[in-house]
Structure 1
Amino acid sequence: MTEREKRTLGDGLDRDELSWTDGDMPFSARFGDHFYAREDGRAETAHIFIGHNGLPDRWSEGGDFTIAELGFGTGLNALETWRQWIAARRPGARLHFHSFEAFPMQAAELRKAIGRWPDLLPLCDRLLAHWPALSTASTPWPLDEQTTLTVHVGDAPDRVTAWEGIADAWYLDGFAPARNPDMWSAELMDAVFARTAPGGSFATYTAAGWVRRNLRNAGFIVQKHPGFAGKREMMAGYRPS
């Protein structure tokens, strides 16, 4: 059963229109795509973005670590990463999570989507304590004493280009390339590469040939791996040192 809800925040932001599949799985009307794999979005996050960026093993050395993400969506990637970071982090280490999102959800929608995973709800509520301020300005917010989150609201090509940070790992998680090609353009992949530390990594669920070429032409070493939940392939790679 699905239901349709339209944004009416009155804050001037352009909002996507969502449908809800199975009651709590969001589907984007704008892009004609689900926000995560219907089999299990959380397991997808662990397999693709966390696992194929070598996390949490890379946190064992301590120090600061920066993750950047194309597409905040439901916040599932950020929340599952934060959960694993809490379990693995070293004393004094800091995680800086930056996400680029053009159409941030309402707080109630985020919580509804995350409700599929009850153990993530306490973290979700701590994140939502900063909403809607997080979803309207590129301001770093402390989620806890060792974790900050910044949501850069606006078109990804513009916001990534303007960002002055450098990521140790990228989550490339825009909607499907066929439905949202701007999120996978050569220009944006060039900007992602320029804002990746030497030896830094990326992971994405897609293995589309033209996206692979854009990543390689930007300078990344690109490798194909088995995808999630029976999907034949995904991609991950790194910027040469």
Structure 2
Amino acid sequence: MNDQRAELEWRDGGVPVSTRFDDPYFSIDDGLAETRHVFLAGNDLPARFTDGFHIAELGFGTGLNLLTAWQAFLDSRTSGKLHFTSFEAFPMTQADAKTALRAFPTLADLAEPLLEAWRGTSFILDTDTLRAEIVIGDARDTVRAMRHDADAWFLDGFSPAKNPELWGDELMQEVGWKTAPGGSFATYTAAGHVRRALEGAGFTVERVPGFGRKRHMSVGRLA
């Protein structure tokens, strides 16, 4: 059982910031728009959704990316289920997650079952349209045990300069190994060493316009 918890302070009217990594969990400007730009559009979603489409994520945080992807899946009227696996080393408490997600009232109906399932330990949320598995622990140890390859990756750890463990060559290699043929990734960072690590893992990597104050981000497909 993981006994490490997220250490938070709240800034700018309710944005949670990790004091361990001195980095916000979502954009101060518009966290929902950021997720849609970086992780959905960056992976060409919802256009690629199919029954059983599998998204994997490094850095679960508040659950905002999961909820945004689930809403996009529902809005696309794709039949079947979206599958989502997320890896998190320092989980928020349920109370902190609930406070953070109040910033996104349009996602409130989907947030309710997520928060009900939230335990601060690994858990599964299984509904008619979503199967989500949240794996608590160090991703360098847990990603390799993922049972099904991902069609798309949301690489959403804290800044590589502040959280280098989540962006190292070995973990990016694991990401490549756990990606389905033709699978993709998207991330807000355009750091050169991250892009090189992903290229080394087999992805064709492209730097594209970022969201808000970030000039660039990175996307790619498995070569």
TM range (shorter): over 0.9
Q: Paired residue for 2:30? A: 40
Counterparts in 2 of 1:1-241, with a 5 A limit? 13-59=3-49, 62-91=50-79, 93-132=80-119, 135-137=120-122, 139-142=123-126, 144-240=127-223
What is the alpha-carbon distance in structure 2 between the residues aligned to residue 158 and residue 89 of structure 1?
Answer: 35
Greater gyration radius = 1
What is the alpha-carbon distance in structure 2 between the residues aligned to residue 184 and residue 89 of structure 1?
Answer: 34
Pair 1:153–1:12, CA change in 2 (3 A):
closer
- Structure 2 residue runs of 5 or longer lacking an equivalent are none
What is the alpha-carbon distance in structure 2 between the residues aligned to residue 221 and residue 90 of structure 1?
Answer: 28
What is the alpha-carbon distance in structure 2 between the residues aligned to residue 155 and residue 145 of structure 1?
Answer: 29
Is the 1:111–1:121 Cα contact (8 Å) retained in structure 2?
A: no
Is the 1:227–1:234 Cα contact (8 Å) retained in structure 2?
A: yes
Task: State the TM-score, normalized to the length of structure 1.
Answer: 0.89
- Structure 1 residue runs of 5 or longer lacking an equivalent are 1-10
Is the 2:182–2:222 Cα contact (8 Å) retained in structure 1?
A: yes
Is the 1:222–1:238 Cα contact (8 Å) retained in structure 2?
A: yes
Q: Give 3-state SS (helix, strand or coil) of 1:123's partner.
A: helix
Task: State the TM-score, normalized to the length of structure 2.
Answer: 0.96
Instruction: With a CA cutoff of 8 Å and minimum separation of 6, indicate the structure with the bigger relative contact order.
Output: 2
User: Could you say what the CA RMSD is over the residues aligned between the two structures, in angstroms?
Assistant: 1.3
Deviation at 1:216, TM superposition (A): 0.6
Pair 1:42–1:23, CA change in 2 (3 A):
same
Question: What do residues 135-180 of structure 1 show as CA deviations (whole Å, max 9, x unaligned)?
Answer: 312x4321x2021110010001101022222000000000000000
How many matched pairs?
223
Question: What do residues 214-234 of structure 1 show as CA deviations (whole Å, max 9, x unaligned)?
Answer: 011111100010010142110
Structure 1 stretches of 4+ moved >4 Å: none
